[in-house]
Amino acid sequence: MKMNFNIIIPARKGSKGLPRKNQILLDETFEQIPREYHDKVIISTDDDTIISRIKSYFSKCNIHHRSKESARDSASTKECIIETVRDFKLTGDIIMLYLTYPEREWKDIMHAYKWFVENQAKSLLCREEILTHPYLCLHDTGNNRGRQIVPHDYYRRQDYPKCFKICHMISIFKTIEIKNLNNNLYNENTLYYKIPQTIDVDTLSDLKKYKEKYDS
């Protein structure tokens, strides 16, 4: 299999759900990536602490100094990816790895990339089975009232359409396809790679859940 890819790791400084989460989770991802691939890794960050740690412990990896525009709270990850691809003049395939999936292993990344290549995909996200069907979910309209998110009048579960949840544990896309993706990094041509339920660390309770699972 031809290995024509670069790895981009977004690691913005700010985090509201879990302060310093990218600093906390940095080593979990970098220690999973074999050292022979470190020269393919680009971490895009505005965090001086992360930059210092990469230089000290993962020096073969590349650092992209994220601009103020792509590091602002309202900026999408797509903006960061476009900026990194442009600044490093990247071609071929991009594997994007958020630091917030500490259960991910290198074999998972390579299996997904092989599947991406074999299926001649333009873009790939992961898919998880849903725990609660969207037909059972309501918008909270206040005063203990709700409104259907998806209008329907079905009452039998077997009539509900089959659904899945998108997951960014591993995201892969061709550089020429990035501009065609929405801000959540998918479009009508995206293929979805099935994975088991995984922990996405965004809050302190998520981090505790992960630690309890693997420290016991």
Alpha-carbon gap, residue 69 to 97, rounded angstroms = 21
Residue labelled with tokens 């073969």: 60
Average pLDDT score over residue span 64-86: 92
The CA distances from residue 114 to 31, 61, 96, 158, in Å, are 21, 23, 15, 34
Alpha-carbon gap, residue 126 to 166, rounded angstroms = 6
Alpha-carbon gap, residue 183 to 69, rounded angstroms = 15
* Tokens coding 60: 């073969």
The 8-class DSSP code of residue 163 comes to: -
pLDDT at 216 over 70: no
Residue labelled with tokens 């290995």: 3
Strand ranges (E), 97-214: 123-128, 138-142, 145-148, 165-174, 191-194
The pLDDT assigned to 65 comes to 95
- In angstroms, how far apart are the furthest CA atoms of the chain? 59
Domain spans, the chain: 5-128+166-215, 130-163
Tell me the pLDDT of the chain averaged across its residues. Answer: 94
Would you say 43 and 62 are in contact if contact means Cβ atoms under 8 Å apart?
yes
5-128+166-215, which class in CATH? alpha beta
The pLDDT assigned to 3 comes to 77
Burial class (CB in 10 A: 0-12, 13-18, 19+), 110: middle
The pLDDT assigned to 66 comes to 93
The pLDDT assigned to 165 comes to 96
- pLDDT tens string 11-41: 998 777 788 999 999 999 999 999 999 999 9
| CB environment 55-90: b (16+ within 10 A), e (fewer) | eeebeebbbbebeeebbeeebebbbbbbbbbeeeeb
Q: To which H or E segment does residue 54 belong?
A: helix 48-57
The pLDDT assigned to 1 comes to 66
Average pLDDT score over residue span 95-118: 97
Average pLDDT score over residue span 73-93: 95
- pLDDT tens string 126-178: 999 998 999 999 999 999 999 999 999 999 989 999 999 999 999 999 999 99
Alpha-carbon gap, residue 97 to 71, rounded angstroms = 17
Would you say 123 and 166 are in contact if contact means Cβ atoms under 8 Å apart?
no
